[in-house]
A and B are shown apart, each in its own frame.
Chain A
Amino acid sequence: MSSKSVVATIAGRTTYAVLHGLLHRAGSQLPGRVALAIDPQVVAHLKSKTRKGSVVVCGTNGKTTTTNVIAATLEAAGNHVLCNRDGANMLPGVASALLPGHTADWAVIEADELSCAHILPQLQPTYLVLLNLFRDQLDRAGEIDHVQDVIVQSLAASPATTLLVCGDDPLCLGVAERAQAAGTKVLAFGINEDLGLPCDRVPEARFCQRCGTELSYAYRSYAQLGAFRCPACGFARPTLDYRATNVRLGQAGVTFDFTCDEADSWQVSLGDGGVYIVYNLLAAAAVALRAGVDSATFLQTLDGFDPGNGRLQHFVIGDHPVVLNLAKNPTGLNQNISLMLADERLKALYIIINDEANDGRDVSWLWDVDFERLTERQDVSFVMAGGHRANDLQVRLKYAGIAAPVVLRMDDVLDCAFVLPKQNPLYVITNYSALWPTKTKLEQRSQKDE
């Protein structure tokens, strides 16, 4: 390590110690910022302390969950893991995550898609997991073409990295094909059967990444993910190296068989989530297997898996189950709606839409969400709109045939939801900036009840 990066590391660690020890603040970015200010290449220097390797997880949806599962399972297998668990996924957050301690076995890093451009060249990870690409934050991230270009260029700057890609997603495969042509090793994962699920109304990525012809699908699992092929040029879902089969989705969560050519199949299950979770777990299982984790350790990790980070977090308040989940783009919200409709109990729904910088200032995407599906059934008793853009959400719901009052305080929301018979749930869906305040509030209310 150069003297500059030694100073950078010490300064970053001191900041971390002050924030945690004295101020009791999480401060996930600040230590990294301090270290980077002194040495912009500090991540490149810190990576040398990971003895076995590093994994970067990126993709529009599911990054935090996948990162957390991978980190937890590597730890359960006895590894010392550095991880940006809280989801601070730009370069300062990554630097912060790598600061503590002198050695580690693995770094497991969640990376914002555009930040890959800064993270990959420095970290030179063993694996890059690319989960999916959806339209998200067009005002900040730009169009998907641009995001794809950035990932391809990042991989070019990290030639020893193996790309573990969702082969079911034509947009991810577009990236993989270009990276492979430039010499990147590519492995693909996907769901190898038709789940018979309904399609989203506003389709993403309907056209071939190579020639622009409309893709045809043998089946879709959600959004643009599925068994696709281009009738004109042969662009198609590749042979899957890691596959999910016998997928069961239901109120009790998900189960599937994880199969590949290099090991016996694992029967994976998690007590929560919809089809998107299958992809996250599939990617995590593939990394775990390649990192030498055995099936028993992986499955045990999932058994007790509760990241407590607002992704499908459960509370009980006033004898009512409350389910909190994050949704920050049409695909995420559509998946949440599917998940909620799988629950046949009478229920209330509260949606919070903010437009802070990390949410995306533009809330146009609300019009691409299939809120109309909420009216298909009688068991969604009522919907409430919250957040800084509650009024926009209210208008969107009105045109979907749903009269949703604007309710801004969580206490009022709970009062409204509690007119439902006991044991009937409230679902709370928020986008990014409202997630932590909402989680904190729900934790306070559920503790008060204990």
Chain B
Amino acid sequence: MNNGQSLQVLHLYPELLNLYGDSGNMLVLRKRLEWRHLGCTVHEVHMGERASLADVDLVFIGGGSDREQRIVCDELHQQRQEFAAFVEDGGVMLAVCGGYQLLGHSYLMGEEEVRGLSLVDLYTDRGSPRLIGNVVVESRIAAQPIVGYENHGGRTHLEAGVEALGRVLHGYGNDGQSGEEGCLYRNVVGTYVHGPLLPKNPGLADWLITRALERRYGACELEPLDDTDELAANETMRKRLL
């Protein structure tokens, strides 16, 4: 069962990037490992601390207000090379909302263009109005469509060769026009679907866990869990929206 397998998760700046119940994503990763008798250690990185990626399997970065996102962006620039190396090495990363924008080359804060981390070939500009509402996305990495909520002024554009996380079935997605939502690059998932992204989308949670276990321990097959409640929540919203 356990085989002593365990994942090291890095949660970046939870005190700043916690706008939309982001801690729920951490809780879900932890519980879904725990229920399978796999270990999980979550390291929170706080302002002024230097994150060590050497032994990390999965990085999570959430969403914050403009001001907080800017503070985090400046802080992360000092470690851009290490994050780039982690991504290129197949490190698993989940970046939500503001965190998703930081993955790209740039985003706009008001009229000012802020340089992002350039981990994924994408950029974000702004549009009006904000894109707000329930969203459903069909993705190849999750058996059920991904269901959640989006609330963003940014319009994110993927450069050629960057795959979207999925196709928008309801809602707006990256820019409200392309019909695409999020990005999928190596083992990096970026998305505007915020807050309880993983709770209602156990397929996506398990995809992230599987990639992280594979990278550390080689081929792996996850023990199935009873996801009746999670899938009922997912289905209820899909039925309502589609």
A: which residues have CB within 8 A of B? 135, 138-139, 143-145, 201-203, 206, 212, 214, 361-368, 391-392, 394-396, 398-399
Cβ contacts A to B, 10 pairs, < 8 Å:
A206-B15, A361-B149, A362-B149, A364-B21, A366-B21, A366-B24, A367-B24, A368-B18, A392-B233, A398-B229
B132 engages A139 (CB within 8 Å): yes
Q: B220-242 vs A: 1/0 string, CB under 8 Å? A: 00000000011011001100000
Measured between C-beta atoms, what is the minimum distance from B186 to chain A in Å? 27
Contact residues in B for A143 (Cβ distance below 8 Å): 19, 65-66
B151 engages A362 (CB within 8 Å): yes
A212 engages B71 (CB within 8 Å): yes
Measured between C-beta atoms, what is the minimum distance from B25 to chain A in Å? 8
Contact residues in A for B21 (Cβ distance below 8 Å): 364-368
Contact residues in B for A135 (Cβ distance below 8 Å): 19
A396 engages B195 (CB within 8 Å): no
Question: Given A143-B65, A392-B196, A396-B196: A367 and B229 within 8 A (CB)?
Answer: no
CA distance A137 to B123 in the complex (A): 28
Q: B118-137 vs A: 1/0 string, CB under 8 Å? A: 00000000000000111000
CA distance A203 to B19 in the complex (A): 11
Choice from B15, B22, B151, B233 contacting A395 with Cβ under 8 Å: B233
B18 engages A202 (CB within 8 Å): yes
B140 within 8 A of A: no
Question: Given A362-B149, A395-B233: A145 and B20 within 8 A (CB)?
Answer: no
Is chain B's binding surface mostly helix, strand, loop or mixed?
mixed
B20 engages A399 (CB within 8 Å): no
CA distance A143 to B21 in the complex (A): 14
B31 engages A399 (CB within 8 Å): yes
Given known contacts A214-B47, A365-B20, what 20 new A-B pairs fall within 8 Å (CB)? A139-B151, A145-B65, A202-B18, A212-B67, A214-B15, A361-B132, A362-B20, A362-B151, A362-B195, A364-B195, A365-B21, A366-B24, A366-B196, A367-B21, A367-B199, A368-B23, A394-B232, A395-B199, A395-B233, A398-B230
B133 engages A391 (CB within 8 Å): no
Choice from B22, B71, B149, B199 contacting A399 with Cβ under 8 Å: B199
* Residues of B29-52 contacting chain A, CB below 8 A: 31, 47
Contact residues in B for A214 (Cβ distance below 8 Å): 15, 47
CA distance A204 to B149 in the complex (A): 21
Choice from A362, A368, A391, A396 contacting B236 with Cβ under 8 Å: A391
* Residues of B185-206 contacting chain A, CB below 8 A: 194-196, 199-200
For the complex of A and B, list the 8 residue pairs with the smallest distance between their C-beta atoms, beginning with the closest: A364-B195, A367-B24, A367-B21, A391-B233, A364-B21, A364-B20, A143-B65, A362-B149
Contact residues in A for B24 (Cβ distance below 8 Å): 364, 366-368, 396, 399
CA distance A311 to B23 in the complex (A): 29
Question: Given A139-B132, A391-B233: A367 and B15 within 8 A (CB)?
Answer: no
B18 engages A138 (CB within 8 Å): no
Which of A364, A394, A398 counts the most chain B CB atoms within 10 A?
Answer: A364
B196 engages A364 (CB within 8 Å): yes
Measured between C-beta atoms, what is the minimum distance from B31 to chain A in Å? 5
Measured between C-beta atoms, what is the minimum distance from A398 to chain B in Å? 5
CA distance A282 to B11 in the complex (A): 40
A367 engages B27 (CB within 8 Å): yes
* Residues of B131-183 contacting chain A, CB below 8 A: 132-134, 149, 151
B23 engages A202 (CB within 8 Å): yes
B: which residues have CB within 8 A of A? 15, 18-24, 27-28, 31, 47, 65-67, 71, 132-134, 149, 151, 194-196, 199-200, 229-230, 232-233, 236-237
Contact residues in B for A203 (Cβ distance below 8 Å): 15
Contact residues in B for A392 (Cβ distance below 8 Å): 196, 199-200, 233
Contact residues in A for B18 (Cβ distance below 8 Å): 202, 368
Is chain A's binding surface mostly helix, strand, loop or mixed?
helix
Contact residues in B for A365 (Cβ distance below 8 Å): 20-21, 195
Choice from A361, A368, A391 contacting B229 with Cβ under 8 Å: A391
Contact residues in A for B31 (Cβ distance below 8 Å): 399
CA distance A228 to B151 in the complex (A): 31
Choice from A206, A364, A398, A399 contacting B194 with Cβ under 8 Å: A364
Contact residues in A for B196 (Cβ distance below 8 Å): 363-364, 366-367, 392, 395-396
Measured between C-beta atoms, what is the minimum distance from A203 to chain B in Å? 7
Which of B132, B133, B233 counts the most chain A CB atoms within 10 A?
Answer: B233
Contact residues in A for B132 (Cβ distance below 8 Å): 139, 361
Measured between C-beta atoms, what is the minimum distance from A180 to chain B in Å? 22
CA distance A361 to B149 in the complex (A): 9
Contact residues in B for A395 (Cβ distance below 8 Å): 196, 199-200, 229-230, 233
Residue of A nearest to B15 (CB): A206
CA distance A144 to B19 in the complex (A): 10
Measured between C-beta atoms, what is the minimum distance from A332 to chain B in Å? 15
Measured between C-beta atoms, what is the minimum distance from A351 to chain B in Å? 15
Residue of A nearest to B31 (CB): A399
Contact residues in A for B236 (Cβ distance below 8 Å): 391
Measured between C-beta atoms, what is the minimum distance from A35 to chain B in Å? 30
B233 engages A394 (CB within 8 Å): yes
Which of A363, A392, A394 counts the most chain B CB atoms within 10 A?
Answer: A392
B151 engages A138 (CB within 8 Å): yes
Contact residues in A for B134 (Cβ distance below 8 Å): 361
Contact residues in A for B27 (Cβ distance below 8 Å): 367, 399
Measured between C-beta atoms, what is the minimum distance from B199 to chain A in Å? 5
CA distance A399 to B225 in the complex (A): 13
Contact residues in A for B20 (Cβ distance below 8 Å): 138, 362, 364-365
Measured between C-beta atoms, what is the minimum distance from B226 to chain A in Å? 10
Contact residues in A for B23 (Cβ distance below 8 Å): 201-202, 367-368
Measured between C-beta atoms, what is the minimum distance from B175 to chain A in Å? 19
CA distance A404 to B132 in the complex (A): 30
B229 engages A394 (CB within 8 Å): yes
Contact residues in A for B19 (Cβ distance below 8 Å): 135, 138, 143
Contact residues in B for A364 (Cβ distance below 8 Å): 20-21, 24, 149, 194-196
